[in-house]
Structure 1
């Protein structure tokens, strides 16, 4: 069976759904192909920094999450090797605008918030991509053929790969496989039916080779993590009971009792044990992340370690910038048949260096915070010396304090309105088609 689509997005995660919604906001419909039978909820929770909330506001959904989740004002970071405790404030940008904030949300809640803004038939579930082929049409433009596991073939003018760390689209474009950081992360969600009684905030613990912490999501749930250099020979990723035992008896045995108490209340269905992967920064900086009308976004383009909490945030940025580039290159503004290809090329060039630095910064932050990988390596002493002097300054400050990505004609963070007043978060330009207005855009 052959189906024709204008824009197809591979992957129904954060990047995929945000991109579909951003395109909808600027007047373009898309089809999202999700390999699973329902929305993915892997990861349990994630922390959204200031740049993510700017993007969510542009998408028109930030208020739905902010009405449920509370901002985090500070994090307490304890160096277990020295006993030093440092308070890290989350005050947002230097301008301290009211939009700035750091909030931890359930990943599933974010996905559902994005999905419910899309037309009901936007997401095609149980649609696993098998192969990608390109063909040239009679008008010299290109189309991409997507072959699915169920035998369906989809012909699309534009393909956006948002299919995660092991992206089939990235592989088709020729990008190298992500690298291992040498670290693994155990994560889980602890549930206290009667309430945990802790103050809302974040606590982190740093020692040579280990980084752990927890963040309260609400009065009854706490998200926790342990990141370590692991040489485990047994596979514990598919056995939650064994994984929890490993965390309690080995990975977290030297952590404060408060942390272990939280771990004991973990919902086993939320446990995960995954390697921390990243794409080499030079591969992002110099790779060809666009070929014709095929490109990538989110983890498919720039998988990174979680040390700057920028994985999901940067994926939301991608969605906004991609929609802007396509909107600005709309054929109502040009007769160029290659306008879509040029729009995607512009998107890649605009994102390339920012995400390169985010990936490099995240890796450096993790290396410093965990002492360089163990006492047996010659650089670990230097890394711990560096860490003890800057502690967690690398973690959030420069990732939050970024140039503003989006704004409005009324100022950088005022509410978006169309000229008709009917559709928020969109404006209409003088040529009649919808587009985002961006603070750093020249009129």
Structure 2
């Protein structure tokens, strides 16, 4: 039995839920398919920068999340070998911190709270859990979405927000993301009483690794650690206790407070995840959209976390996609079509134009972010003496400004003015 749906979104992550909520705000129903039996909250927390707050405000959940998370006032880079500051940027003080779209706003947001805030605003039944997509095929103006349980959904629009291993991206012809040779460990330490961390994003460079801390609120501090494990070091990945000790040994000259954050984190957080990225040039000649199918979020722009824009860009995607798709679907509702055959054809063309518009808007933005993240990550974790000297002397002092520059972007409102 086939079930007909106007818009099917694969993946209840950041981009999928943002797209669904954006469409809901415009009066358009969608169905979100999630392969897990609940919202996936792995990742602990993520930096939400100025561009992402604009997207959250566009869909009406920004203020709710602001009340739960502290403002980050600046970013500081330290060399852990010599224990000295190599770069500093205060977001509200320096004239450089004011972007063309206004003052910057940065907070570290718990992933669980972000996803719950998005999901709680959706109508009941929008998200269908335990719904794994196994294949996609075409049927006239529709796409047939086959689920693992045997269900077949007949969709007018199919949106892939299903991450780096996206089934929809594969259908569109995207190649799988490639391994960078680097991996990351992330966690969040919860204190019984208020911690003593300043509201700063602290990044520590040296010893061939990059680590950092940033407070989320009064009691929670998020931390990260990225490295390029040798074949011998990769054996540690199966032993969280050894991985934790290795990480502590590589932190270098950091404060006791930073060490305490890692030491107080539960062992189940010590999982080393490979960092992957998509070749940015694929976006230039690949199919971000094809007919009535498109991709968003990590399915569109898998990138390394080095400029903290993966989740932010996913929020941008959701707003832009909802706007472009909404324009097409709402316009179709207003038109008077003579017969059912003509209606299907016209609707298909309108949706196709809407998704092409979305792809055009997101192509260069995604290309820029993927490329910048890869280059920044390569430089920050370079081992050689020359690269280390250049990084400490020239690159790190301007990196904070680069982070602000990439965040100085406005994806616009849900409705075109």
Report the TM-score, using the length of structure 2 for normalisation. Answer: 0.89
Q: CA deviation at 1:40?
A: 0.4
Counterpart of 1:418? none
Query: Greater helix share, 1 or 2?
Result: 2
CA distance 1:24–1:237, shift in 2 (3 Å): farther
From the superposition, tell whether residues 228 and 2 of structure 1 become closer, same or farther in structure 2 (CA, over 3 Å).
Answer: same
Q: Does the 8 Å CA contact 2:8/2:157 hold for their aligned counterparts?
A: yes
**Equivalent position to 1:354, from 365, 369, 375:** 365
Q: Is the 8 A contact 2:100 2:408 kept in 1?
A: no
Q: Structure 1 regions of 5+ residues with no counterpart? A: 137-141, 408-434, 439-443
1:135 maps to what in 2?
Answer: 139
Question: Would you say 1:398 and 2:410 are equivalent positions?
Answer: no
Contact 1:188 1:270 in 2 (8 A): yes
What residue is the counterpart of 1:11 in the other structure? 11
How many residue pairs are counted as aligned between the two chains? 397
- Give the distance between the partners of 2:306 and 2:105, measured in 1 at CA: 18
SS at match of 1:196: coil
- Is residue 331 of structure 1 aligned with residue 338 of structure 2? no
Q: CA deviation at 1:332?
A: 4.6
Q: Contact 2:185–2:224 (CA<8 Å) still a contact in 1?
A: yes
**Deviation, structure 1 residue 333:** 6.3
Distance in 1 (CA, whole Å) between partners of 2:247 and 2:84 is 24
C-alpha distance in 2 between matches for 1:89 and 1:239: 39
Structure 1 contact 23–30 (Cα < 8 Å) conserved? yes
Structure 1 runs (4+) deviating above 6 angstroms are none
Partner of 1:158: 157
Alignment of 1:297 with 2:296, yes or no, is yes
Q: What is the RMSD of the two structures over their aligned residues, measured on CA atoms?
A: 2.1
Q: Which residue of 1 aligns with 2:214?
A: 215
1:363 aligns with 2:362: no
Matched, 1:437 2:393: no
Q: Which stretch of structure 1 is more off in the superposition, 301-310 or 389-398?
A: 389-398
Q: Deviations over 1:34-66 (max 9, x none)?
A: 000100001000010000000000100101001
CA contact (8 A) 1:211 1:228 kept: yes
Given the superposition, is the C-alpha separation of residues 190 and 25 from structure 1 closer, same or farther in structure 2, using an over 3 Å criterion? same
Verify: 1:342 aligned to 2:353, yes or no: yes
Contact 1:41 1:108 in 2 (8 A): yes
> In 1, Cα distance between the equivalents of 2:81 and 2:365?
34
Does 2:126 align with 1:122? Answer: yes
**Paired position in structure 1 for 2:88:** 87
- Structure-2 residue corresponding to 1:97: 102
CA distance in 2 between counterparts of 1:96 and 1:156 reads 38
Unaligned runs of 5+ in 2: 338-345
Show the counterpart of 2:74. 74
Deviates more, 1:180-189 or 1:293-302: 180-189
